[in-house]
């Protein structure tokens, strides 16, 4: 038998801060990936200028997730990686043409400038965002219980299960 399920919509930090401590059993999320889409929302996650800023923002959100998770709660996090430099820009892809013409969100695509993490990584290198985030979350008190690399056509995605 399933308990009632409540779906909360809104800015992640704003909504999380309204929830009582240890009131959630499971959180399943796929936050915006670094520099992949522009949803045209002020303060959105994913358009930070550096990898470090992006990771800090996610850790801030997941710190609140940990606060609201029950002792037996789990977090299921689907996070993608990014490449340094060009960011995988494909000028002939239809969705890229839409993005260049000003559309964003689901109709958008990779940002023209790609991910440029201030010289930390050589162009075309995989940045390792899932690993950097997992280590940062461990430093914030999470337990990393498992990871699963999901091979999706051209791009491996690391799915990470973290516990309180």
Could you tell me the residue ranges of all domains in the chain? Answer: 24-163
As a whole-number percent, the residues of the chain with pLDDT over 70 amount to: 67
Contacts of 17 by beta carbon, 8 Å cutoff, 6+ apart: 64
Residue 12, phi then psi, degrees to nearest 5: -55, -50
Confidence of residue 85 (pLDDT cuts 50, 70, 90): low
User: Is 69 within 8 Å of 25 (Cβ atoms)?
Assistant: yes
pLDDT in tens, 2-57: 667 778 888 999 999 999 999 999 998 999 988 878 788 888 998 888 889 999 99
Does 15 or 88 have the greater pLDDT score?
A: 15
- Give the per-residue pLDDT at 119: 60
- Give the per-residue pLDDT at 163: 59
- Give the per-residue pLDDT at 87: 44
**Global confidence as pTM:** 0.73
User: For 46-50, 53-57, 59-63, 69-73, which range has the lowest pLDDT when averaged over its residues?
Assistant: 46-50
Q: 33-42, 63-72, 82-91, 155-164 — which one is most confidently predicted on average?
A: 63-72
User: Is 85 within 8 Å of 115 (Cβ atoms)?
Assistant: yes
Distance CA 91, CA 94 (A): 8
The CATH homologous superfamily to which domain 24-163 belongs is: Vaccinia Virus protein VP39 (3.40.50.150)
Strand ranges of the sheet holding 155-163, from the earlier edge strand across to the other edge: 24-29, 69-79, 155-163, 143-152
- CA 83 from chain centre, in angstroms, equals 15
Mean pLDDT of the chain: 76
């Amino acid at each position: 038998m399933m308990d009632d399920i409540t779906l909360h919509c809104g800015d992640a930090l704003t909504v999380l801060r309204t929830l009582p401590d240890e009131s959630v059993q499971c959180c399943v999320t796929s936050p915006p990936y670094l520099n992949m889409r522009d949803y045209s929302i002020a303060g959105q996650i994913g358009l930070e200028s550096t990898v470090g800023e992006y990771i800090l923002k996610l850790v801030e959100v997941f710190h609140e997730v940990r606060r609201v998770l029950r002792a037996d709660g789990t977090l299921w996090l689907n996070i993608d990686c990014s490449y340094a430099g060009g960011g995988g820009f494909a000028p002939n892809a239809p969705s890229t043409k839409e993005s260049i013409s000003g559309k964003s969100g689901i109709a958008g695509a990779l940002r023209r400038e790609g991910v440029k993490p201030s010289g930390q990584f050589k162009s075309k290198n995989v940045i390792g965002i899932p690993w950097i985030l997992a280590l940062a979350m461990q430093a914030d008190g999470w337990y990393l219980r498992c990871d699963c690399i999901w091979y999706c056509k051209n791009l491996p995605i690391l799915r990470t299960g973290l516990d309180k």
